Amino acid sequence: MDRILRGVLKYRQTDRKTMVEQFIQVKNNPVPKAVFFTCMDSRMIPTRFTETNVGDMFIVRNAGNLIPHSHHFLDEYTTNEPAALELGCILNDIRHIIVCGHSDCKAMNLLYKLRDGNMASKENRRISPLRAWLCNHAESSLIKFQQLEVAGYHTPLIFQSETPMRKFVAYIDPENKFSIEDKLSQVNCLQQMQNIASYGFLKKRLETHQLHIHSLWFDIYTGDIYYFSRQNKTFVEINEKTFEMLVTEVKKYYS
């Protein structure tokens, strides 16, 4: 707390004036461009590595950057994530949803340890809220990953995207650069795209291409950021060589 209080004091002396000016600029007409789902990991600072600012994005964070599938939305039981989708994409007419995972994700590391039948154990789910969260909402990611594992990590996976008839192929870490847990993290990112598309209140916008779902993946040890390219069927590092290609793809698929 001492560090946080000192930080607030420094903010008052340095950044406060500029931030207030920015708040005033967007007060009457904020136009955020994306709903950004990412992990709560303290190393993930999305506004910094995307160079975004006040009013640019809605940011939703949780353990493992999960978006529960709509079949969990029963009666009055729901979670923050679908409410954020409605607030951002329906009430604020945001056109882009981004799911961003990362390397060395502690939630994904634990999910990997929960494989081999432990997911179904009620006793296991009662041990901790984190395990219950993963067992309830990340099991589909683990099942998808196990398909990859059985095939020796070389066979492509198929994911549903914006509509039931619209699917995409994904090769996970074809150069074998990352750990097994990081491969699971990438699979998990793509599975969340499918989960997002399961919500009925987004259906019309997805079908008419008024709403688009993307995936990023951040390697925290190199600082490299990857974009899932449907054209290349894998996560492609965003850099000076790939930038124009990725911009062209985004315009082609999402304009």
pLDDT per residue as tens digits for the range 20-66: 888 888 877 778 999 999 999 999 999 999 999 888 999 999 999 99
CA 149 to chain centre: 22
Find residue 210's DSSP bridge partners: none
The pLDDT value given to residue 30: 73
In three-state secondary structure terms, 17 is helix
Q: What tokens does 94 get?
A: 């945001």
The whole-number pLDDT of residue 162 equals 84
First-to-last CA distance in the chain? 46
Using the predicted structure, report yes or no on whether residue 143 has a pLDDT greater than 80.
yes
Quote the pTM value: 0.92
119 pLDDT band, cuts 50/70/90, is low
Tokens of 149: 């594992």
Query: Is CATH 3.40.50.150 the classification given to domain 32-254?
Result: no
Beta strands 212-218; 96-102: pairing state: parallel
From CA 229, how far away is CA 112, in angstroms rounded?
A: 25
